[in-house]
Chain A
Amino acid sequence: MNRPPRTGAKIVMYVILGLMTLLALYPIWFAILASGRAGDRLYTFNLAGMFVPTQWTWDNYQTLLQETVFLTWIKNSLIVATLTAIASVSLGTTGAFAFSRFKFRGREAGLILFLAIQAFPGILALIPIAQILTALGLYGSMYGLVIAYMAGQLVFATWMLKGFFDTIPIDLEEAGMMDGCGPVRSFIHIALPLARPALAITFLFGFMAGWGEFFLANIIIPAPDAKKTVMVGMFQMANEVNIPWGQFAAGAVMVIVPIVLVFLWLQRYMEAGLTVGGVKG
């Protein structure tokens, strides 16, 4: 396994790695190319144009941003995703700290309850949540959507933060305690600052869950166009009869590329989050 491979084997490996890299990057590259092409086609009859940019124009971006509700969609999605992330992290942190640091009756029952709620399939929570939102008069509003996302996201955030608190050594808090620090002060002055990266990552997970979700958003905010989130809006755009493909590609690029870059940038933390989060629903 650790012997240097023969030249033949090396070439084979490079070819496979190269092909897989091409496969991994091409769909996004394809969207980028299509977004810069004039006209409403995603493809081009010029084969070379499928792989390298033969022409480039910002028209599609311009039209999409100026003449459609795309920016409003983005704004809606940003609001929903940010609110979900803020709400889940702020409500989850104290509980996660307690579940990580203290032993109390009902602790195990609580942890099992967390797991059970995470096992509940998201789409099927729609029936009770739609009922509740209707009764509250929040059906069709962004706040209603945030409430729907909280059903899954709060437990996920708590579970994940608990995992992070578990990895922070307790020694510092014990030292603080020696100096007369109570549990509340040791939480605020010692544990919270140490957990800052964890809070950021949990926030990001909550944000991405709200940003990429489609099914609940599609039902809870059915109309009008200006209230939809970007996923629902773009999905609808891709299924119209006369699809403005160039604009669709431009929108896809603007939605996909930033999130991919953030993911790659914080790769290590994302992996850690998935492992610590354990049972991602």
Chain B
Amino acid sequence: MVGWSGRRLALTILAFVAPTLIGIAVFSLYPLLLNVFVSFTNKGLYHPNPDCTVTVWKIMDPACWLEKPPTGLAAPYSIHDPAIKNYGDLLGGFFTKDVLTAVLFILIAFVPLIIAWRVNHYLDRKVTRPISPGPVWLIGLVGTLVLGFLVNVADQYQMILDSGDFIMVNVRTIVYVIICMPILFVLGLTMALMLNNKHLRGVTFFRVALIVPWAASTVAIMMTLIWQFFFREQGTINQILNTLFGIEGPAYLNQAGWAWFIVVLVQVWYTYPFFMVTLLGGLQSIPLDLYEAADVDGANWWRQLVNITLPLLRPIALPIIVLSALTTYKIDAIVWALTRGGPTAGAGKPGATEFVMVHAYKQIFQTKNYGTMGAFAVILFVFLFAATLYSLRITKITKGAYE
């Protein structure tokens, strides 16, 4: 704005910003810094109390602000030597020769697919393609399968999982996200394409009815408890199976495979309406004359989808996939209400559906090892922040935000 300038403007801006920034500093920033501080110490069940005679503690630990700081028989918690011990405990297992080799092998198995992708990319730039993309992808896929068989991907994957609980839950969560995303996208796109069809009646009704799961996700923990009831041993599904066919169904949530499937199913149920609505918005912004031109050229439905719809949806699809991948990575309520991370894989080991957040929650409860869990939070924070910045780079929200 022109006109308002000089010191008065600076003071005004300060007056505007101050309440918000002070609030954020008190409510958000300080806890974050305290967490980083704790992550370098051995604070936990055996060393709960601060050493308030040292300046750093006096400033950082809120317990030291009291008139009478708590003391106990145990030695006060102190900074580890070396300070990054907690981080080493969490990540150490990963940086061994065997595990890194396993990662390398798995990456090598995917090389043919990456080559296929690049080759297709290169061929797309030519005016006339010598071969269509399908066969190239097929060759890449076959190559990956053969290589995967040769390097024995399953064993390598198991080796990575066994290198530590932190690694295990993170790798599992990443695999979970990779499984969920294509399902969400394909389902969301299919429904959006149908809702976008102007020759169907009652589309408005379907559009509203179909986003009910998304609305229910605001109270996900309650809604998922109802879902859980369907899959209990004496739950709805087994009841129907029993009445209709006389089959005694299993306790679905106590079997690793079924539990995984159900968590994916419920997650998809909650999330695909978000994809559907966003992609529908994208579809409606595609000019119709493109399709008319394609009709004139005799392109069939599938070719129009691949050559017009999908490329034009890309700027909308990519951001929501990344955004959704980040929230899916932090899945908590669904798993907690369905399985609580189970079924167990033995004492002290993360259960089959114990994804990152659920694992963290359980660990805070069970071990009360605050130092290590602080480091857990910091590592995740760095990872998620990097992912957020990356997603902003591709969505270019940053551009709008900084203008």
Residues of chain A having any CB pair with chain B under 8 Å: 1-5, 10, 13-14, 16-17, 20-21, 23-25, 27-28, 30-31, 42-43, 45, 47, 50, 91-99, 101-102, 104, 108, 110-111, 113-129, 131-132, 134-136, 147, 150-152, 154-155, 158, 162, 166, 170, 173-174, 177, 182-184, 187, 208, 211-212, 214-215, 219, 231, 234-235, 238, 248-249, 252, 255-256, 259-260, 263-264, 267, 271, 274-275, 278-281
Quote the shortest CB–CB distance from A207 to chain B (angstroms): 10
- Does the CB pair B380–A231 fall under 8 Å? no
| CA A93 to CA B361, docked complex, whole Å | 33
- Does the CB pair A135–B16 fall under 8 Å? no
CB-CB nearest in chain A for B207: A267
B104 contacts chain A at the CB level, 8 A cutoff: no
- Does the CB pair A123–B209 fall under 8 Å? no
Residues in chain B near residue A174, CB distance under 8 A: 1-2
Residues of chain B having any CB pair with chain A under 8 Å: 1-4, 9-10, 12-13, 15-17, 19-21, 23-24, 27-32, 34-35, 38, 61-63, 65-66, 190-191, 194, 197-200, 206, 208-216, 218-223, 225-230, 234-236, 239-240, 243-244, 269, 273-274, 277-278, 288, 291-292, 295, 301, 304-305, 308-309, 323, 326-327, 330, 332-333, 336-337, 357, 360-361, 364-365, 370, 373-374, 376-377, 380-381, 384-385, 387-389, 391-392, 395, 397, 400-402
Residues in chain A near residue B384, CB distance under 8 A: 119-121
The dominant DSSP class at the A interface is helix
- Does the CB pair A102–B23 fall under 8 Å? no
Evaluate whether A23 and B336 lie within 8 angstroms (CB atoms) in the complex, with A14-B200, A208-B218, A259-B219 already known.
Answer: no
- Does the CB pair B225–A235 fall under 8 Å? yes
Please pick, from B1, B13, B219, B385, the residue contacting A119 in the complex, using a CB distance under 8 A.
B385
| CA A271 to CA B275, docked complex, whole Å | 11
Please pick, from B63, B236, B381, B388, the residue contacting A135 in the complex, using a CB distance under 8 A.
B63
User: Can you list 14 pairs linking A and B with CB atoms under 8 Å apart?
Assistant: A20-B206, A27-B223, A30-B226, A94-B19, A95-B20, A117-B29, A119-B388, A121-B360, A131-B34, A132-B30, A135-B63, A214-B221, A231-B219, A235-B222
The 8 A-B pairs of least Cβ separation, nearest first, read: A95-B20, A135-B62, A263-B215, A124-B377, A98-B16, A128-B31, A128-B34, A91-B23
| CA A177 to CA B1, docked complex, whole Å | 9
- Does the CB pair B219–A21 fall under 8 Å? no
- Does the CB pair A21–B210 fall under 8 Å? yes
Residues in chain A near residue B24, CB distance under 8 A: 95, 113-114, 117, 154-155, 158
